Amino acid sequence: MTVQITASEGGIPHNTIMAVGLVGSLVCLYLTYANQFLNAEYAAFFGGLAAVFALLWGTDTIKNLCSYGIGTGVPSAGMIAFGTGVIAMLLATKVETIVPFSAPIAAVVFGAIVGAVAGWIANEVMRMNIPVMVRSLTEMAIIGAIVLMGFTAAMAGGFGFDALAAREIAILGPLTTTSYVGSLLGGCLLAVSFMLGSLALQHPFNACLGPGEQQDRTMMLAAECGFLSMIAVAAISFAFIAFPAALLSLIVAIVGWYYTYVRFIELSKRDAFAWLDAKPILEPKGDD
């Protein structure tokens, strides 16, 4: 006796969500470049917004894929998305050092390559034969790379490989020294982004699946997961970027999280069979 994955049909088509997610997240990633022209990293919070856009898109992708029943549950899909995404994202940061302003596009390209290979292996070599497998894993690797890049930008203000690997530390006023161990890569804070992203990617659909799943509620939860992850990212950013900029990220994250969380509770109330406080079990009236 097992539970079938069920989800709502219709709603906003997947291609529309994908277009909005991809364009929105890329625009936000490019907005983080504004940090190079400001006196502090005030644009860092756009990295978090990029992750939110990507997670909205990813939630719909996971819903598409898991409706087929892939045999290992929803969370594993989030794990493979970020396992492939982290590799694409790091290579893209390397490209950034050679060709400035190319990292977001490079992340999409590399993510598409790694994801397509993983999807093709699952479908052809492992013989899963799921029609949307290749496309879904391709999308999810891109999403993984974008989310990691967005969180990296929110933590450190940018995403060039050299900047992520070294941090200038002031000693005695004007003198500075370069610290590698205290940098974003040296502290391996990608591990935090990795887990934050992979849970936030799989959670919305995993938490809302069932016969009463509604697209707007699932999407609201996706945004909530994105902003919630951004709170943790903003807390970490205090170590890397200017205090007011980190505070701005934190405020944006908390406001966004609070709004989406309250909205999600309202939508749950709308969809629930009943909303009871301290009431006994209502045995069904039907004939069992």
Partner 1 sequence: MTAIAAGSGGGEGINPVASAIGIVLILITLAITYFAVPAGLAALVGVIVGGLLIGFGIHFVPVGGAPAAMGQAPGIATGVAMLATGAGLAGLFGGAWAAANPEFSFAVVIAAGAVGGGLMMAITCLMVNIIYIFGMGIPAASGKVAKDPITGDTQEAYKSQGTEGHGLPFISYVGGVIGGLLGGAGGTLIYYELLQVYTATLPGMFGADAAEVLPIAVSLAGIFAVGMFLVNAVLAAYNITGTIEGPHDPKFKRFPRAIIGCATASAVCGLFAILIVMGV
Partner 2 sequence: MESVLFGIGVTALAGALATIAGAAEDTESNIGSQGDPNSQVQLAPQMGYIHRIYNKAVSGEPPAYGLWVTISAGVAWAFMATGMNPVLALVIASALAIFVQGVYATTAYLGRTASLAKFEQPVYIDVIKSVTTVTMAHAFVAVFPAVVMCYLLIAALGHPFPLPLLGIVWGIALGAAGSATGNPFYGKERQYQSQKFGAGVPISASGNIVRYAEAGQRSSLDNGWFTAKLAGPASGICFGLIVFLEIWRTVLFEDVASGWGAIIAGVVIILIFTIIDRYVEVWARKNYGPYQAEATEEVSA
Q: How many residues bind partner 1, per CB under 8 A? A: 59
Q: What is the largest CA-CA distance in the chain?
A: 80
Q: How far is 240 from 234, CA to CA, in rounded Å?
A: 10
Residues 7 to 26: which contact partner 1 by CB under 8 A? none
Contact between 213 and 62 under an 8 Å Cβ cutoff? The reply is no
Angle, CA 93 vertex, CA 229 and CA 200 arms, to 5°: 20
Taking residues 98 to 117 in sequence order and writing x for each that binds partner 1 by CB under 8 A, - otherwise, the string is x-----------x--xx--x
Q: Confirm or reject binding of residue 54 to partner 1 (CB under 8 A).
A: no
Q: Rule CB under 8 A: is residue 68 a binding residue for partner 1? A: yes
171 binds partner 2 (CB under 8 A): no
Residue-wise burial string across 255-280, b where 16 or more C-beta atoms lie within 10 A, e elsewhere: ebbeebbebbeebeeeeeeeeeeeee
CA distances from 257 to 25, 114, 130, 252, 272 (A): 18, 32, 35, 8, 22
Pick from 31, 109, 121, 239 the residue near partner 1 by CB under 8 A: 121
In one-letter notation, the amino acid at residue 104 is P
Sole binder of partner 2 in the list 26, 66, 88, 208 (CB under 8 A)? 208
C-alpha distance from residue 177 to each of 180, 183, 188, 227 (Å): 10, 12, 20, 34
Interface with partner 2 (CB under 8 A): 1-3, 73-75, 78-79, 181-182, 186-189, 191-192, 194-196, 198-199, 202-204, 206-213, 217-218, 221, 224-225, 228-229, 231-232, 235-240, 257, 261, 264-265, 267-269, 271-284, 286, 288
Interface with partner 1 (CB under 8 A): 2-5, 66, 68-77, 79-80, 82-84, 86-88, 90-91, 94, 98, 110, 113-114, 117-118, 120-122, 124-130, 161-162, 165-166, 178, 180-181, 183, 185-188, 190-191, 194, 206, 209
